[in-house]
Each structure stands twice: as structure tokens, then as C-alpha cells.
Amino acid sequence: MHRALLRQSRLRRPKFLTGLMKIGSISGVCGVPAACAVASRTYAPWHGGNKKGFSSSATRYADPNATSPVSSPPRVTDKIIIIPWQQSPASHYDHFWLRDHCRCPECYHQVTRQRLVNTFSIPETIKPSRVNAKPEGLEVIWEDDSHKSLYDWTWLHHHSYNPSLPQQEVTNLPATITWDAATIFEYPPAVQYKDVMDSDAGLVKWIENIEIFGFSFVEGVPVDLLKTEELARRISFIRETHYSKNMWDFTADLAHADTAYTDLALKAHTDTTYFTDPAGLQLFHLLEFEGKGGESLLVDGFHVAKQLKEKDPESYEALSTIPISAHSAGDPHVFVRPEPALFNILRHDPFTKELSQIRYNNDDRSTLSHLDQSHVHKFYKALRAWNSLLTAPENEYWVPLKPGKVVIFDNWRVLHGRAAFTGHRRLAGCYLGADDWRSRVRALRMGEDVKGLVV
Ligand SMILES: [Fe+2]
Ligand SMILES: [Zn+2]
């Protein structure tokens, strides 16, 4: 398995990981040192190793030691400025775009990072009167009012839109590692409760496990509801829903009209498909159990989707394009439906085209009353193919939860389920919002200077 993970992670290893600027290290995050080392947050200078020219701050304009990363002077046409980078294709910036994105204190608030410039007062045909390639950035003097803009080279490179240049070297997201049951069984990602609670480094390790593997255990957690809540709140505030204000803490008593509140088996699903913004993370802590069964099931939806794409691209396409809807309507005073009502089980990032979210709970699916006739057969065929991979034993990671061992997973990637059980089972848990956990890790990972660069 170790070798399998390594092979996979090497395939996914972005080129920038060989670079010079190291923001931090996460080796040993998850008990898979090699895999984690691959995800170490390192980025390369795009201009061929000239560290001096690689200012990472939009406000760090005046580095007296900086040297220019361009191979020749910028060219100016009627409409655009062309920057010939030393180490990547030349970028084209429209004059209006540049003026609108001036980052000087008059045009851009240096603390709030909000635009101050009045976009609508910029002449449509604005042009520079002078352009200078300075060591610290591109200086542009504008013809209409002699306003002087200075664009940090790194900021310009990062935001190049024609062509779009690789951005990962700055955002430093750990590489995702998809898994099957055998792979993850051997090296389940885990951190210690004490580490998470005691330091931000421990917290980052925990969240990075979620980014890389889609889930993580936390071991050594006090068997206590409030302590579990404190753990969840290390990441962000808890998402209040119609199930609960803070943590859920429930037994199979049908306190809510949902099968989660029974002792029935639950097939692999993601939660809250019926919310416009489905829950981002879900955390479980089994506080008490006297009985049989009830093992938890985790399935890496991104791994299963990859398999489906390879084996049956037509079905993958169908689940990515034929929309469905969902509802939560069991409780007497609850009738949740998403807005817009329709969504795809497999959602892709419109820019990168990468799979970004799985939203699937067959039990919560609403009546298919909006389907085009030609889609009915296609949809059910695709759903059957998806289900057969999702329930393939090699993809199902079964794990008995126990008091003291928390599991948290990315509800946009990892599907969860449960075996039927008998006896007394008290489970606590909560949801955290997708924006909230991502904001937390971004802010922890990026210093203020990098934050200033990427927005
Ligand atoms: Fe669930
Ligand atoms: Zn300005």
C-alpha cells in the first residue's frame, strides 16, 4: 500500500514542488510520511530562481534589491500591455483591466483588501502615457490623469488571464490522494487530539489530512460532548440546521423524522444534498455503544468517480449533466429544497473542469418530474453504474467507531454510511460549512502577504 500511495502521489505531484520558497512542512501528517511529504507546501519561483524578484506581496512594491523578471521591455499597443516573462509565455493585459486593478492605496484599501477605485469613472479608452519595467514591478502612468500605478511582478504573473498561467505554486494546496479500502485500511489518516488543541500546526495537520484524503480520525478525544464540540470549533463555528443548534447528540429514537435517527443500515451517501449549500464537513463521535453492528462506512467518492469515468464515460457524463433534486420533508415544520432546485450528482469546477463536489443521497432524491424523455433511461443506467462501483467491496472502507476516536470527513467528497445495529448507541456530531473550513485553512496557511497576492 505504501508503494501504491507513493506511486499515486508521484503522479499527482505538481511541478512546483521542486522550488525554493518553502512556507512550511507537513511531513508526518497522517502516518504516511512519504505521501504527506509530497503534499509539502513548497513553491517555485516562476522566473528561474531569481529570488530577489519574487516578492510575494502586492504591497511590497519597493524592494530596492529586486531585479526584473521580464526578458525584455514590456510592449504597449492601443489596447494592451504585453509582458515577456523570462520563464513563461508572455502575458497580455488590457489597459482598462490594469487601471481597474490598480493596487495603490488610493485605488485599493491596503487593510480591508477592497477596491476603492471607481471603475465607472475610468475612461473606456484609457491608455498609458508611459510604461516602465522597474525591479519592483510594472509602473504605468495613465494618460488621462497622470495617475501612477505600480503592479508587483508576482501579482501580475499570478493573475495573468491571457494566457492563464499555473497558479498552484502560490496557493500551495496539498495534492489530493484518492484511495480504495485496502489502501486506506493500512494507513488511515489520523492526528492526536492534544496536538490539534495545543497548536495551530496540529490543527493544520488535521485539516490537511481532510484535504488530501477527504477525511481524518482524531485519537485520544475525551469522551465528552463539550470537549468534542471544542474540537470541532478549532476549525470553525458549527453550522446550525433543523437537526440541531450546536452538536447533535442522539440515539435511535426518531427524534427527527430521518433514517439517521433509527437503527437501520444507511448506504453510502453525502448529507444535506437538499441544502443549496450542502454541509462542508461532518464530524462524528460515538460516545456510548452497547450492542452489535453499527460500523461506519466511508467511500472516497472522487476515487469512485474516477473509476466510473474510466469504465463508463457515458454514465459519468450523464451524472455530470442530467440534473436531479432533493428534499428534507420528514419533520412537521420542515420542508427544505435547494435553490436552484436542480443540481448534478457530479459537479465540476467551471474553470478547471475538475470534479469538485459529489452530492448524492439516493434516499433524499425528489421525484424525477423534470427529466427529458430521452434522459430517463440514460439517468437510471448511469445511476446503476455509479451504485455498483460505490458498493463494490474494494471501495468500501468499514471502520468501527469507538469512544475517544472522532472521524471528520469532507461531505463534498467522501460518502458515509452505517451498518444496522442493535442495542444502545449514542452518537454526537456536527456540520461545518464548506466556506468556513476552507477559509480557516487558507488563513492558517497563507500569511498576509500571500493573501494579498492571490485576491
Ligand atoms: Fe448521513
Ligand atoms: Zn491607483
Q: Check if the beta carbon of residue 165 is closer than 8 Å to that of residue 88.
A: yes
Q: How many A from CA of 98 to the centre of ligand 2?
A: 10
Torsion of CA 224, 298, 176, 278, to 10 degrees: -70
pLDDT at res. 61: 28
* Mean pLDDT of all residues in 116-139: 96
pLDDT in tens, 254-290: 888 888 888 899 999 999 999 999 999 999 999 999 9
Q: Domain with 114 in it: what CATH number?
A: 3.30.2020.30
Q: How many A from CA of 147 to the centre of ligand 2?
A: 7
- Highest averaged pLDDT of the listed ranges 31-35, 84-88, 255-259: 84-88
Could you tell me where the DSSP H helices lie in 366-454? 373-390, 434-445, 448-454
- When pLDDT is cut at 50, 70 and 90, the band that residue 452 belongs to is confident
Name the more confident of 246 and 57.
246
pLDDT at res. 67: 57
| pLDDT above 80 for 293 | yes
| pLDDT above 60 for 240 | yes
pLDDT at res. 173: 75
* Mean pLDDT of all residues in 31-53: 29
Residues with CB under 5 A from ligand 1 (ion): 271
The reply to whether 229 and 105 lie within a common domain is no
pLDDT at res. 169: 53
Domain stops at, among 164, 181, 199: 164
Residue 164 CB burial class (10 angstroms; 0-12, 13-18, ≥19): exposed
Q: How many A from CA of 277 to the centre of ligand 1?
A: 15
Q: Domain with 257 in it: what CATH number?
A: 3.60.130.10
For residue 405, give its domain range.
221-455
Q: Which amino acid is at 154?
A: T
pLDDT at res. 170: 58
pLDDT at res. 19: 25
Asked which of 162-166, 220-224, 363-367, 406-410 is least confident by mean pLDDT, the reply is 162-166
Name the more confident of 403 and 59.
403
The reply to whether 86 and 230 lie within a common domain is no
Q: How many A from CA of 99 to the centre of ligand 2?
A: 7
Q: What is the mean pLDDT of the chain?
A: 85
Domain stops at, among 115, 139, 164: 164
Residue for cell digits 469515468? 309
Looking at the 3D structure of the chain, how many domains does it have? Answer: 2
Q: How many A from CA of 104 to the centre of ligand 2?
A: 4
Q: Check if the beta carbon of residue 181 is closer than 8 Å to that of residue 295.
A: no
| pLDDT above 50 for 447 | yes
The reply to whether 82 and 153 lie within a common domain is yes
The reply to whether 361 and 258 lie within a common domain is yes
Q: How many A from CA of 116 to the centre of ligand 2?
A: 9
Q: Which ligand is nearest to the CA of 243?
A: 1
Asked which of 27-36, 167-176, 350-359, 444-453 is least confident by mean pLDDT, the reply is 27-36
Residue 127: CB atoms within 10 A of its CB come to 17
Has residue 448 been placed in a domain?
A: yes
Domain stops at, among 116, 138, 164: 164
The reply to whether 129 and 227 lie within a common domain is no
- When pLDDT is cut at 50, 70 and 90, the band that residue 184 belongs to is very high
| pLDDT above 80 for 323 | yes
Q: Which ligand is nearest to the CA of 429?
A: 1
- When pLDDT is cut at 50, 70 and 90, the band that residue 171 belongs to is low
Has residue 11 been placed in a domain?
A: no
Give the list of residues 6+ apart from residue 431 with CB closer than 8 angstroms, or none: 238, 239, 241, 271, 272, 279, 280, 281, 282, 411
Residues with CB under 5 A from ligand 2 (ion): 102, 104, 106-107
Provide the percentage of residues in the chain whose pLDDT is more than 90: 74
